Structure 1
């Protein structure tokens, strides 16, 4: 019966993918895989469809983790976005998810671990906003419901001369969360100073009250003010001690042994204060036990690590085989921790 349920779920997922088929987007991923593997494009498209059913991959997953290069036994080891989504729906209490969906609620719930001042424009007046703006050289404004780095703007306060107009603009755009800009640790700034280079640490709080780190990722900006993978940034995986296992890669799969702007080596890069990062995510994971499976975005300030946000439906991060040489995914690690 379980096998039939799994087959039904995978078939249903594949039908949904076909119904929402974006031909150009799919062909973009297929061409990347075809170029990498030297396989005919038509064969790659067929293989992508097969993997969607057999391994529950999205077309993005197929390209990102070089499935065209992998053998069947290697493909079986990869966590995928659909698998992660199913786990999130199964493990995380739906009634509590707004704590993570709304950045204002998140700030209220985890305020002591944010490490930065913040303001809700929707419930404060012009005078209080003006006092907040005058405290800092720069501020960052966010849409509380934004995802993937969208709905975020960095503003120099010297350029703000009309607080009333600023408040109206923020209310109109939905960027009602105003925050102090974090100052990152000098070692993180050395890697790339144009953005706050953050970590994504995926944790699971098991029924025995043990916190497992399922994946640890270093995200790095590359020419922009945001380090998100979908906004021009890159990422690499970290070992259990916070050291970069291999080169970083961007959304197009380009490898970066060293940062193209700063020239700092990425392979082997050691994240500062990593023991404190692990202590922080352990504390955070216990704060909302009704949602045991969370991806935490962590920044490293000169004094301590702080939390940027949490993701109850966290994306999946794994080593890209063509960049790292690693041909094994993290599904066994997830299974061992979650006992499924």
Structure 2
């Protein structure tokens, strides 16, 4: 298994980025590149830590006792495979299925193109009159298969979507396999003021445990940097949240280890993040506790939650949630938690 996992690392690793990280760490740690590579391989062999996570989680700065607490990609795969039914994860791998199953927790309007035509879409536009749309591939992952379109209305029944008439846009959407169209969601005004380029989303992980019906791990919030998505893997930022108060904790984290680790303000707006209280926080955890039991055969989910002026709303559920985002933001390993779940 170890050898197969080693060769898997060669398959999935971006070696151009890896080389840049090696050079950076060699410089800041005053070590040779050979020494950095040797330590990276040692961490892989002893802790199953991927080549990339060695840098993202800054193993080069961590003592052995901290390294041993981190969950490897292999451990997470085994954990999520053990807890989550292969048949039931379909509700989380496809956004259409997710929207239908968790409709009571979704506050925005959406249109599913299945068995629908352009006239159905037009009626939906008239009913909702959105200023913008997000077109998605329902099986898209990690911010892929996603596009934003401005909507203008020339008169009562005529729309332009992304500058295209309805027939042209609808054909374009179908060709791009955009089978799910959301009204552009307006996040809470306080969050919009801080990070206006994209929705800010909470990531909250739930585990249905035999000894405790719903265990919720420490929450975090993701915000965009200068993109229209908040994705941590595409340059966004992430901060831990105090689960009791809903206040953002220091510092601001980028996934890239070369970025600053002392920032307390949003990189674009300059607004202070540390100490900011997530609006409607008192409603978030109860919603997650309910949602976690809708599909109990999927015992662990990483929920993406957005905050509107009216309260929290589910955006997505991830059965194969990312442990690197959690460990980086909270600066602690997940292995003790993962191995304690029965």
Question: What is the match of residue 157 of structure 2?
Answer: none
Please list, as runs of the form range in 1=range in 2, the aligned pairs for 1:97-246 lying within 5 A after superposition: 97-134=89-126, 135-158=129-152, 159-160=160-161, 161-208=164-211, 210-241=213-244, 242-246=246-250
Match of residue 17, structure 1, among 9, 24, 27: 9
Give the secondary structure class of the aligned counterpart of 1:265. Answer: coil
Question: What is the match of residue 155 of structure 2?
Answer: none
Question: What is the match of residue 6 of structure 1?
Answer: none
Task: Give 1:83 shift.
Answer: 2.1
Off by >6 Å, runs of 4+ in structure 1: none
TM-score in terms of structure 2 length = 0.89
Q: Distance in 1 between matches of 2:269 and 2:73?
A: 32
Please list, as runs of the form range in 1=range in 2, the aligned pairs for 1:1-340 lying within 5 A after superposition: 9-18=1-10, 22-134=14-126, 135-158=129-152, 159-160=160-161, 161-208=164-211, 210-241=213-244, 242-253=246-257, 254-255=259-260, 256-316=263-323, 317-318=325-326, 320=328, 328-336=332-340, 338-339=341-342
Q: Distance in 2 between matches of 1:328 and 1:21?
A: 23
**Paired residues of 1:133 and 1:157 also in contact (CA < 8 A):** no
Q: Distance in 2 between matches of 1:203 and 1:196?
A: 22
Q: Distance in 1 between matches of 2:241 and 2:73?
A: 20
Task: Give 1:71 shift.
Answer: 0.6
Q: Over the residues paired in the alignment, what is the CA RMSD in angstroms? A: 2.0
**Paired residues of 1:196 and 1:226 also in contact (CA < 8 A):** yes
Identify unmatched segments of 5+ residues in structure 2. 153-159
Identify unmatched segments of 5+ residues in structure 1. 1-8
**Paired residues of 1:237 and 1:319 also in contact (CA < 8 A):** no
Give the secondary structure class of the aligned counterpart of 2:221. Answer: strand
Give the secondary structure class of the aligned counterpart of 1:288. Answer: coil
Count of matched residue positions in the alignment of Structure 1 and Structure 2: 326
Give the secondary structure class of the aligned counterpart of 2:265. Answer: coil
Task: Give 1:279 shift.
Answer: 0.7
**Paired residues of 2:266 and 2:273 also in contact (CA < 8 A):** yes
Q: Distance in 1 between matches of 2:16 and 2:93?
A: 30
**Paired residues of 2:13 and 2:52 also in contact (CA < 8 A):** no
Q: Distance in 1 between matches of 2:191 and 2:185?
A: 12
Q: Distance in 2 between matches of 1:186 and 1:275?
A: 17
**Paired residues of 1:214 and 1:334 also in contact (CA < 8 A):** no
